[in-house]
Amino acid sequence: MMTAPIDFYFEFASPYGYLASTQIDDLAARHGRETAWHPIMLGAVFKQTGARPLVHTPLKGPYLQHDVPRFARLLGVPFTEPPVMPANSLAASRACLWLQGDHPALAKRLPKAIFHAHWGEGRDISLPEQVADVAAALGVERAALLAAVADPAIKQRLKEATAAAIERGVFGSPFVIVEGEGFWGADRLNQVEAWLAQGGW
């Protein structure tokens, strides 16, 4: 029987999206499942919910700056504070959508590499050239990527993907949907795993 993939929605500027990105494929594999990675523009979502980036929120900002490195240590994954938070993730997200269409074999390797460059190594992934550097290390042609992230059709695809995510109830990063059940937050992956292990509860 074909089982639908686990949908993994994320925003590159979200540190909790990064933390989840280091776990979700292994988690899915432990239950014989595939994942589908969906970059979204969280800014567009925040316009609907009235939220703003956590890092700019009183009290929550300092919490996040302490919590994210602590959470990364617990998971045993690298963390380096990027120079700009939140980064502009448009080029990174568009590059991923382009690869999903034209180079599916690389489509998951690129977002993992971008997340690692940004949150693991502290590189600023706001500029298209920097996304192209990350992609080039995976064998993606720089010129093709730079053309793609400026392509109106790709820009439109990201808008539509974000609208479709909102339509499904996605409002944060990371957001996982499994068997129609949504789970928000890197700290809910244990519930995603319990859902898979028990077939719901």
Strand, helix or coil at 37? strand
Q: Is 197 in the site for a copy of itself (CB under 8 A)?
A: no
Q: Is 71 in the site for a copy of itself (CB under 8 A)?
A: yes
- The footprint of a copy of itself on residues 34-63 (CB under 8 A) is 45, 48-52, 57-60, 62-63
In 103-167, alpha helices (H): 109-115, 128-136, 142-149, 152-167
Q: Is 199 in the site for a copy of itself (CB under 8 A)?
A: no
Sole binder of a copy of itself in the list 73, 137, 160, 163 (CB under 8 A)? 73
- The footprint of a copy of itself on residues 2-21 (CB under 8 A) is none
Cα–Cα distance between 81 and 171 in angstroms, integer?
24
Cβ proximity of 8 and 35 under 8 Å:
yes
Q: Residue 70 Cβ, how far from a copy of itself at the closest point, in Å? A: 8
With contacts defined by CB under 8 A, name the span among 96-104, 119-127, 140-148, 167-175 that binds a copy of itself.
167-175
Cα–Cα distance between 43 and 54 in angstroms, integer?
12
Distance of CA 157 to the CA centre of its chain: 16
Q: Is 70 in the site for a copy of itself (CB under 8 A)?
A: yes
Q: Is 170 in the site for a copy of itself (CB under 8 A)?
A: yes
- For residue 104, how many other CB atoms are within 10 A of its CB? 9
Q: Is 90 in the site for a copy of itself (CB under 8 A)?
A: no
Q: Is 179 in the site for a copy of itself (CB under 8 A)?
A: no
Cα–Cα distance between 4 and 183 in angstroms, integer?
16
**Closer by beta carbon to a copy of itself, 16 or else 98:** 16
Please work out, in degrees rounded to the nearest 5, the angle formed at the alpha carbon of residue 162 by the alpha carbons of 144 and 84: 70
Peptide bond before residue 174 is cis, with ω within 30 degrees of 0: yes
Query: Position 200: which residue type?
Result: G
**Closer by beta carbon to a copy of itself, 30 or else 129:** 30
Tokens of 54: 């956590």
**Closer by beta carbon to a copy of itself, 62 or else 122:** 62
Q: Is 182 in the site for a copy of itself (CB under 8 A)?
A: yes
Residues at the contact surface with a copy of itself, assessed by CB under 8 A: 45, 48-52, 57-60, 62-63, 66-67, 70-71, 73-74, 166, 169-171, 181-182, 184-185, 187-188, 190-191, 194, 201
